Amino acid sequence: MNLIDKGIENRLIRFNEDRNFITYIHQNKKRNYNNPEEKVQAETFLTLVLIYCYPFFMTIAEDIGYTARGRSTNNNELIEIGAALSKFIAHLNKTEQ
C-alpha cells in the first residue's frame, strides 16, 4: 500500500471523485492535486506523519485582515491560528516531558 492509500485509510486525506482535488481532513482544506507541487506536499506530509510519527499542525490562512491592495477586510484568521498553534505547542511540551 502506498502513502496516499495509507493517508486515506488513516483519514488524513481524501479525494474528490475524479481525484483532481485532495482535502486535508484535519484542516478541511481542499487543494488542486493536479498541481505537481501539491503532490510533493501531500507525499511529504504523509511521510512525516505516517512514517516518522511527526506531530503536525497544518493550517492555511485565507484572510489575514487585508487584501492584496492593503485594504482592510475586517477579518483576520491569524488570531485564531495563533491561538490554535499555542495550544498545539503546549500539548507537545506537555507530552515530551
pLDDT in tens, 24-82: 988 888 999 999 999 999 999 999 899 988 887 877 788 889 998 999 999 988 888 89
Contact, 45 vs 58, CB < 8 A? yes
49 touches 60 (CB < 8 A): no
pTM to 2 decimals?
0.63
**What count of residues does the chain have?**
97
Q: Whose grid coordinates read 498545539? A: 88
**The pLDDT of residue 72:** 92
Phi/psi at 77 (nearest 5 deg)? -75, -15
Measured CA to CA, the distance from residue 54 to residue 47 in angstroms comes to: 9
Residue 81 burial (CB < 10 Å; 0-12/13-18/19+)?
Answer: middle
